[in-house]
Amino acid sequence: MKVIIEDEYLAELYKNGKTDGKPRFNIDIDIELGFIKRIIQIEQSQNTNSLRALKSLHFEKLSGSLDGKYSIRVNRAFRIIFRIEKEDNNVRLEVICIEELNNHYS
């Protein structure tokens, strides 16, 4: 699938493997590497069903203020939030951000 990363910090991190930019909050090298790994998994997937089949991703449709968006886990503490756009027979994922889950549940 095609992936577009909207967040400048995350886009540079994925493209170069590092960045001089500053994230919205502190993320360590394990989160950065996990993010890159997940984006590669998305790009190699044929469709969203193949992502859903990987239970470790915890692929889910979000609700409330995040209605219309989806997420997969980077690890137990962080998730990637994205939109799914469809054009003809092509699916594109637009990555919005990484969110820390302990802030989500408070």
User: So where are the chain's domains?
Assistant: 2-103
Q: Tell me how far apart the alpha carbons of residues 74 and 85 are, in angstroms, rounded to a whole number.
A: 21
**Top-level class of domain 2-103:** alpha beta
Q: What is the tens place of the pLDDT at every residue in 72-97?
A: 999 999 999 999 998 888 889 999 99
Q: Tell me how far apart the alpha carbons of residues 45 and 99 are, in angstroms, rounded to a whole number.
A: 22
Q: What is the tens place of the pLDDT at every residue in 21-52?
A: 777 767 888 999 999 999 999 999 988 999 99
Report DSSP letters for 33-84, one per residue: HHHHHHHHHHHH-SSHHHHHH-GGG--EE--GGGTT-EEEESSSSEEEEEEE
| Tokens 């992936």 -> residue | 3
Residues comprising the chain, all counted: 106
- pTM (2 d.p.): 0.87
